[in-house]
A and B are shown apart, each in its own frame.
Chain A
Amino acid sequence: EAQVTQNPRYLITVTGKKLTVTCSQNMNHEYMSWYRQDPGLGLRQIYYSMNVEVTDKGDVPEGYKVSRKEKRNFPLILESPSPNQTSLYFCASSFLFRGQSPLHFGNGTRLTVT
Chain B
Amino acid sequence: GQQLNQSPQSMFIQEGEDVSMNCTSSSIFNTWLWYKQDPGEGPVLLIALYKAGELTSNGRLTAQFGITRKDSFLNISASIPSDVGIYFCAGHGGKNYGGSQGNLIFGKGTKLSVKP
Contacts and interface: CB of A to CB of B under 8 A. Distances in A.
A99 B94 contact: yes
Interface string B81-116: 000000010101011000011111011110000000
A97 B2 CA distance: 18
Interface residues of A, number: 29
Contacts of B94: 98-99
Interface in B22-69: 30-31, 33, 35, 40-45, 48, 50
Nearest to A9: B40
Interface string A50-90: 10000010110000000000000000000000000000001
Interface residues of B, number: 28
A114 B103 CA distance: 31
Contact of A33 (B30, B40, B102): B102
A41 B102 contact: no
A72 B106 CA distance: 24
A31 B41 contact: no
B30 A41 contact: no
B106 A43 contact: yes
A103 B41 contact: no
B107 A42 contact: yes
Contacts of A90: 42-43
A103 B102 contact: no
25 contacts: A33-B104, A35-B106, A41-B108, A42-B6, A42-B109, A43-B109, A45-B103, A45-B104, A48-B102, A49-B102, A50-B102, A56-B100, A90-B42, A90-B43, A92-B42, A97-B101, A97-B102, A97-B104, A98-B94, A98-B95, A99-B31, A100-B48, A102-B48, A105-B43, A105-B44
Interface of B: 1, 6, 30-31, 33, 35, 40-45, 48, 50, 88, 90, 92, 94-95, 100-104, 106-109
Interface of A: 4, 31, 33, 35, 40-45, 48-50, 56, 58-59, 90, 92, 97-100, 102-108
Given A42-B88, A43-B43, A90-B42, 12 more contacts: A33-B102, A40-B108, A43-B106, A45-B103, A92-B42, A97-B101, A100-B31, A102-B48, A103-B33, A105-B42, A105-B43, A105-B44
